[in-house]
Chain A
Amino acid sequence: MKKSRILGSAAVLALMSASVASAAEYRVIVLQSLTGPAAFIGAAFADGARLAEAQINASGVLGAGNTLSVEYADDATDRTQTMSLIARYAADPSVLAILGPTSGAVAVAGAASANEMQVPVMTTSNTMDVLHAGPWSFILTQPPQVTIPYIADYAAQVAGVENCTLIGIRENEAYVTLQNTFEESLRAQGVNIVGVEQIGIQDSDFAALSTKVASQDQDCVFVSAPASQAANVIVQLRQAGLDPEVRIFGHNSLASPQFVERGGAAVEGVTFIADWVPGGYDDNSRAFDAAFTTQFGRAPDNWNAIGFGGLTIMADALSRAGDAPTRESMRDALAATSGVAVPAGQGLYALDAERVPRVGMSVLTVQGGAFVLAPR
């Protein structure tokens, strides 16, 4: 009896210790521009990721007892800081992957470092140079070559525009690429480009630019800027007397509640593409919208949704990276990403054979202060 009790206790202790031993903490770094010029992306991204972190750990998707441990770091939109942080995290064997850095040149520099140090990074930036840096670097968002045709084709083929003026911010490589891709796509479809105007990311006085554009002969204006700034440009274009018949287009940055809040009646009829459809377009994205609104007291925007999706994709890769994930298995799992439900996009997230993200886009327009699918 005594012997069997001892054996029983030993068995329970063994089970308990096995359970403790199997409970793992998977460490991922969210390295985003929490300060600096790209903070409007990075800070919003981090908010989305925080919500995802809470949901992932509550759901037990990583296995019973396993947790996702996320550290939020600031790349400060600065290459030197980014490279030094990547070196620091690469030297820490507990770090399995980095979600970031945020923007263009910083992301490219970060990707180069990550490949050298063999730590997986998935940048918010969609520049293809990140992929060219090597197999350890991935891009989270779809590159302009994938997304912009949705809106360029709509402008040229559905709206039938013939003369277009382009206005875009000059400091952010991603925005410049989006604008250039739109321009090339329109030109390829025979649309005349009336002019290309550049603005600063911190500019707010567009009176002179608006007066100039309003006096030109065009039937289309394309605005490549963050939501608030784009709304501001459009408000000032209307105030400068832009012909109400001129169609205004934009890319996925406009898919933010801020666009309508800042633009009001001036942004009625503006048409753009969206990763994120405000309010959500299916059960998964509507659930994200509700959870985010509850947690942060405001409706999510494009970058909130992308941040949420980014960490969800990381968790999915972790769940497929084996019982004891390593950086190598994380890299391979990320490369094999397929069918992950994310709130941004138009269905399921996947990387193609070239590691290019594919998740689709919607063409939306502002109607009655709300975003609705643009008429075909």
Chain B
Amino acid sequence: MLLQQILNGTVSGAVYALFALGFTLIFGVQKLLNLAHGAIFMAGAFIAYYATINGLPFWFAVVLAVIATGLVSIVTDFVAFRQLRKQGHAEFAAIVTSLGVDLILMNIAQQVSRTQVLSFPFGTFPVEFYRGFGMRISLLQIVILVLVVILVAALYWYIHRTSFGRQIRAVSSNETTSALLGVSSQSVYLQTFFIAGALAGLAGVLIGLQFNSIHFMMGEPFLLQAFVVVVIGGLGSLMGAVLAALFIGIVQSLTIAYLSSELSIAIIFTLLFVTLLFFPNGFFGKADTFARGSRR
């Protein structure tokens, strides 16, 4: 059972990573906690679901959801953050405005779904299981793991190896200086919000598919988990978010398996508490931030 539980935790952690990457990306660039991220994640699942049941091919529904949530994320920036940035007091007020967007999106989803729990039709994705080393792994779990590895690598490459990425890192380091050097901060914000929203949307589709459940409040527990992940990993650190997400996923699985399902949340938040006591910036908060990348 141990290997199976580590595998379960790794898959859960991989999806947490996908979700948390967007969350930490926005924080890394703008120093903002985007509390609408959970609702954008939920919107991804909803868009893919309604596209699928209206006859669109599943692959197309996924692409549509990813693009649409990227755009929703940009709109979120426009309505919740842009004005606050201009006024120069974005950090605290943004928590309130993004919470407002979160509630609006959830309310829309609740009205659309009439509070029902939805799920993709049977057969949307092949249900196949493979066995080996005493473990069972589904085709979907394999796809999730591969997809997350590819996306994390692609995002890392984009941030650290492209000129767009350099601009993102420059703005995250110092917006005023980068503007003097000709970097358009608006373009950077558009990119980061689109990427963050698209990642959240994809995570929503994968979760909705894997766990057979799409609900207007499905983003809230993930937002809480993502918060723990990015704090433990180090706010603004991509690598920290990925490693912390995998760590949290595995710890959660092993807690449920060997201690008690009641304790899993308590243990996760105890880890958060202990981490903050001894590593106030998280494990990778200083070692791997965008700012450091830009100085390199």
- A208-B117 contact given A202-B218, A202-B221, CB 8 Å threshold: no
CA distance A192 to B38 in the complex (A): 41
Is B213 an interface residue when CB atoms closer than 8 A count as contact? Answer: yes
Contact A239 B115 (CB under 8 A): no
Q: With both chains docked as a complex, state the minimum distance between the C-beta of A373 and any C-beta of chain B, in angstroms.
A: 26
A197: which B residues are within 8 A, CB to CB? 256, 260-261
Chain B hits for A206, CB < 8 A: 211
Task: Determine whether B129 belongs to the interface, using a CB cutoff of 8 Å to chain A.
Answer: yes
Cβ of B122 and Cβ of A264 under 8 Å apart?
yes
Question: Do the beta carbons of B117 and A39 come within 8 Å of each other?
Answer: no
The verdict on A229 contacting chain B, using a C-beta distance below 8 Å, is yes
Does A262 contact B221, Cβ atoms closer than 8 Å?
no
Write the chain A residue with the least CB distance to B6.
Answer: A208
Nearest-neighbour CB distance to chain B for A81, whole angstroms, equals 14
Known: A44-B115, A204-B207, A207-B12. A239 touches B138 (CB 8 A): yes
Distance, CA A43 to CA B217, complexed state (A): 14
Residues of B near A47 (CB, < 8 A) are: 114
CB distance from A304 to the nearest CB of B (A): 11
Taking CB atoms, residues of chain A closer than 8 Å to B265 are 200
Complex Cα–Cα for A135 and B163 (A): 73
User: Residue-by-residue, is A198-211 near B (CB-CB < 8 Å gives 1, otherwise 0)?
Assistant: 11101111111101
For residue B183, give the distance in angstroms from its CB to the closest CB of chain A.
Answer: 40
Q: Mark A34-45, 1 if CB is under 8 A from B, else 0.
A: 010101100110
Q: Is the CB of B261 within 8 A of A209?
A: yes
Q: How large is the interface on A (under 10, 10 to 19, 20 to 34, 35 or more residues)?
A: 35 or more
> How big is chain B's contact interface, by range?
35 or more
The residues of B that contact A40 with a CB separation of less than 8 Å are: 115, 117
A241 within 8 A of B: yes
In the complex, which residues of chain B have a beta carbon less than 8 angstroms from the beta carbon of A226? 117
CB neighbours (8 Å) of A209 from chain B are 256, 261
Q: Is A215 an interface residue (CB 8 A)?
A: yes
Q: Which residues of chain A are near B254, meaning CB under 8 Å?
A: 208
Q: Within 8 Å of chain B (Cβ to Cβ): is A232?
A: yes
Residues 110-160 of B contacting A (Cβ, < 8 Å): 110, 114-117, 119, 122, 127, 129, 136, 138
B107 at the interface (CB under 8 A from A): yes
Instruction: Tell whether A170 is near chain B: CB-to-CB under 8 Å.
Output: yes
Contact A262 B117 (CB under 8 A): yes
Q: Which residues of A contact B275 (CB under 8 A)?
A: none
Q: How many whole Å from B172's CB to the nearest CB in chain A?
A: 32
The distance in angstroms between the C-alpha atoms of A150 and B71, with both chains bound, is 52
Residues of B contacting A228 in the complex (Cβ-Cβ under 8 angstroms): 116-117, 119, 213, 215
Bound together, the chains give a CA A199 to CA B1 distance in angstroms of 20
Q: A35-B110, A235-B212 known; A208 and B8 CB under 8 Å?
A: yes
Most chain B beta-carbon neighbours within 10 Å: one of A43, A205, A209, A231: A205
Interchain residue pairs A-B with the least CB separation, the first 9: A228-B117, A204-B211, A208-B253, A43-B115, A204-B213, A207-B8, A208-B256, A197-B261, A212-B257
User: 14 A-B residue contacts at CB 8 Å?
Assistant: A39-B110, A39-B115, A40-B117, A43-B110, A198-B260, A202-B215, A202-B221, A204-B211, A205-B211, A207-B8, A208-B8, A212-B1, A212-B257, A262-B119
